[in-house]
Amino acid sequence: MEICIHDLWNEYELIDCGNGRKLERFGEITLIRPEITATDKPHLPNAEWQEMANAEFVETSKNSGRWDIFKQIPNTWQMTYNSPSGIRLTAELSQTTSKHIGIFPEQIINWQFIERESANFGHESFLNLFGYTGLSTVFASNFFDKATHIDSIRKMVEWTRRNAEYSGRSNIRLITEDAQKFVEREIKRGNTYDGIILDPPAIGSGAKNEKWIFNEMIENLLINVNQIAKRKSFIIMNLYTHSVFGMDIRELLHKCFPNHNIEMCEEVKSTSTYEGTISHGMFIWMKRI
């Protein structure tokens, strides 16, 4: 599946990509960042990229790097998404010590799925596991009485709190905890959810340095997630780790969610203004009606 995010959200634009980098506009700020899936040649010369960009993230090691500043850039800035039905989402963006800035614009297709499907399910509770800066949590909170946001990094939970405040949402429960442990506790407590979204990384650490290794732990987590999904519910997953392309994902989903129907399970790519492409990994939508 290929999408042009700019057609769905005019605040964002993938301008060009190639040679392991991407040139993107986030509101009024344009950035150059590494992108392993940008394998083709860029359309524009590097001099034009640097002329257009406010800054570029240059990797100096596997998990860190530096920002080279070309033009003035604020410490934080905001982007706003207005859905077709009038839902307003405001996101705080910031340069971090990694290449990430607090947003994954491709998530807009998940937000549209939530908005489109919410009428078909109960509206009591929504859960976001590995929630990052919480934009999916904040958006979903418009359709549910209560949204629960889980992330193991306190800084991300506080970032979510600010995004909720900017977007005028107050029905979100924010928890700094390991996703696996939270799900295990919810099973014991008997709590269930109408909608669940999860975005498990390849490797990660919990709030108390619990280890997360995707290939070794994903099946057990999904089996447990199925236990906290209501009889009538939907599940959304994003799998960015490249190891998933060597797995039989549909077989795993059928095993872990035997009563849910798979509506989508495919790689999603973005097209740039100049028709280059980058991959966002696997997007999965499941429903049990």
Domains and CATH numbers, the chain: 2-76 (2.60.40.1180), 104-288 (3.40.50.150)
Q: Is the pLDDT of residue 37 over 90?
A: yes
Q: Tell me: the pLDDT tens digits for 130-167?
A: 999 999 999 999 999 999 999 999 999 999 999 999 99
Q: Is the pLDDT of residue 242 over 70?
A: no
Q: How confident is the model at residue 244 (pLDDT cuts 50, 70, 90)?
A: low
Q: How confident is the model at residue 64 (pLDDT cuts 50, 70, 90)?
A: confident
pTM: 0.94
To the nearest whole percent, how much of the chain has pLDDT over 70?
A: 95
Q: Is the pLDDT of residue 204 over 90?
A: no
Q: How confident is the model at residue 46 (pLDDT cuts 50, 70, 90)?
A: very high
pLDDT for 211:
74
Place of tokens 């078909």: 120
Q: Tell me: the pLDDT tens digits for 272-285?
A: 999 999 999 999 99
DSSP-derived pairing of the beta strands 88-94 and 76-82: antiparallel
Residues with Cβ < 8 Å from 16, sequence gap 6 or more? 22, 23, 42, 43, 44, 49, 272, 273, 274, 276
Rounded Cα distance between 221 and 249, Å, is 14
Q: Tell me: the pLDDT tens digits for 87-130?
A: 999 999 999 988 999 999 999 999 999 999 998 999 999 999 99
